[in-house]
Amino acid sequence: MEIEKRITELGLTLPAPMKTPPGVTLSFPWVRVHGSRAFVSGHGPLLADGSLAGPFGKVGAEVTEEQAYESARLTALAMLSSLRDALGDLDRVDAWLRVFGMINTAPGFVRTPAVINGFSDLIVQLWGPSRGSHARSAVGQAALPFDIPVEIEAEVAIV
């Protein structure tokens, strides 16, 4: 329970599972474990109760870069909650392998790596550079589900 201890020491909490908006059905698992890997479906920022966290809209228009960085950090916590539910213990994550970050961008916003740093910085802070560093993409999108500013998926090695 070392990772959860670090989360608590940072004054952070993992949110409840996502409360889907009315009329929305998600027909996939949040985490798919196969062998020694866990594939994590796209997650967005959540509040503690599992509802979607604002602000909503395009980064570079309605959402600032700083707000989007925080949304990416909240997305990391949402993903960690799903991993804990699927694995039973976050200490089973041996290494972060790949992260794919998508940002709901306004035309001309090109600082997508700075936004996804909100996710990566927290993961490296929790797991350290040897286990937390990961290959990564950070791309702008015309739109994201529910008008969230950030969606992130990942792949981790597990023990």
Q: What is the DSSP string of 21-78?
A: PTT----S-SEEEETTEEEEEEE--B-TTSSBPS--S-BTTTB-HHHHHHHHHHHHHH
How sure is the predictor about 154, in pLDDT bands with cuts at 50, 70 and 90?
Answer: very high
**Backbone torsions φ then ψ of 32, nearest 5 degrees:** -115, 110
- Give the range of the structural domain holding residue 87, as residue numbers without chain letter: 35-45+53-158
Has residue 131 got a pLDDT over 90? yes
For 91-110, what is the mean pLDDT? 98
Domain assignment present for 110: yes
For 34-46, what is the mean pLDDT? 98
**CB-CB neighbours of 64 under 10 Å:** 13
Question: Residues 6 or more apart from 10 whose CB is under 8 A from it?
Answer: 125
Has residue 138 got a pLDDT over 90? yes
Q: How many domains does the chain have?
A: 1
CB contact at 8 A, 132 and 6:
no
Domain assignment present for 59: yes
Domain assignment present for 5: no
Domain assignment present for 114: yes
For 105-120, what is the mean pLDDT? 98
Domain assignment present for 71: yes
How sure is the predictor about 110, in pLDDT bands with cuts at 50, 70 and 90?
Answer: very high
Has residue 44 got a pLDDT over 90? yes
Domain assignment present for 6: no
How sure is the predictor about 1, in pLDDT bands with cuts at 50, 70 and 90?
Answer: confident
